[in-house]
Structure formats: structure tokens, C-alpha cells
Amino acid sequence: MRISYNKLQKLMIDNQMKRADLMRAAEITTYAATKINKNEPISLDILMRICKVFHCDIGDICEVILDE
């Protein structure tokens, strides 16, 4: 099982938002932003802050991909 933040990347592109803009708006660290870029798990708190920035649900920024 793994996580994918491709939906977040698309949201950022659609909103013309760069990584630094997201970090500032959601008040996340460089460490957390790097984990997102590597599709590694981050805390629920960080996910909720990102959702607040985009006024969306967690399912709109990430998805769990089940291994076969």
C-alpha cells in the first residue's frame, strides 16, 4: 500500500501555486514538502492544513494505492 499526492500536484498547477507558496500558505516545513514530493506519508494535521488552503477534502489531495 502506498500514497500518491498526484491530485495535490494537479491542484497546485491549476492554482498556479509553487512549492514555496504551498509551504507558506499551509505553514508546512521543507521536510514535509519533501515527503509529499516523494509520495511518502505525512501527518493528518498537515493534510488538514493543505485542505484548508484549497477548501477541499483529503480525498481531493491524495489517494491510497493498494498493492496487488
Q: pLDDT, tens digit, for every residue of 42-68? A: 999 999 999 999 999 999 999 999 987
The pLDDT, as a whole number, for residue 24 is: 97
What gap in Å lies between CA 7 and CA 12, rounded to an integer? 9
Encode pLDDT of 9-45 as tens digits. 999 999 999 999 999 999 999 999 999 999 999 999 9
The pLDDT, as a whole number, for residue 38 is: 96
In sequence order, what are the beta bridge partners of 65? 2
**What CATH number labels 2-65?**
1.10.260.40
pTM: 0.89
Q: Where are the domains of the chain?
A: 2-65
The pLDDT, as a whole number, for residue 68 is: 75
